[in-house]
Amino acid sequence: MSGEINGTNIVLVNGTGAIVGQMEGTLTFNGSPIDISNKSYADNVTLMDAELAGKQLQFSGTIVYNDDTQFRKVRADSLVGTQDDYTITYVSNATTDESFTAAMVPNGLSDALPQGDKVSTSITFLSSGPITHVPAVT
């Protein structure tokens, strides 16, 4: 297959333009269709076209615990719910790579502390407000 990307080519950058860290993650865009069903549609469910309620971007990932300033900031922000602007960019061979930008709150901090192995932190970034999506252009 041509044009596929490797997960290690996903970059998470905060509002200052600093890279937060190398992490494995899952990006989910949530939104609920709006039900406009009524008796004129008989027993059929009818959803509003081109409209979603409750739109939110969630980026969940695992990062190796470290002493980097940006990593420490994300940990501190997650403990009190501090928002920052974040951009998630898919890096590929495209002329312009796909990206998502939003104010996000780091949430759900969880550390894995295995005996004799690296410590890792799992965290979810929840968007708050509008999301800017820039599709990839080749």
pLDDT confidence of residue 131? 95
pLDDT tens figures, 8-46: 567 888 988 888 876 788 999 999 999 998 877 788 898
Q: Would you call 102 exposed, middle or buried from its count of C-beta atoms within 10 A (0-12, 13-18, 19+)?
A: buried
pLDDT confidence of residue 89? 87
Tell me the C-alpha distance between 48 and 89, whole Å: 30
* Domains in the chain: boundaries: 7-134
- Is 129 a residue whose pLDDT tops 60? yes
pLDDT tens figures, 51-103: 999 999 999 989 888 888 999 999 999 999 999 999 988 877 666 688 999 99
Confidence of residue 2 (pLDDT cuts 50, 70, 90): low
Return the CATH number of the domain spanning residue range 7-134: 2.30.110.20
pLDDT confidence of residue 12? 86
pLDDT confidence of residue 111? 95
- Among 72, 69, 135, 68, smallest CA distance to 100 is for 135
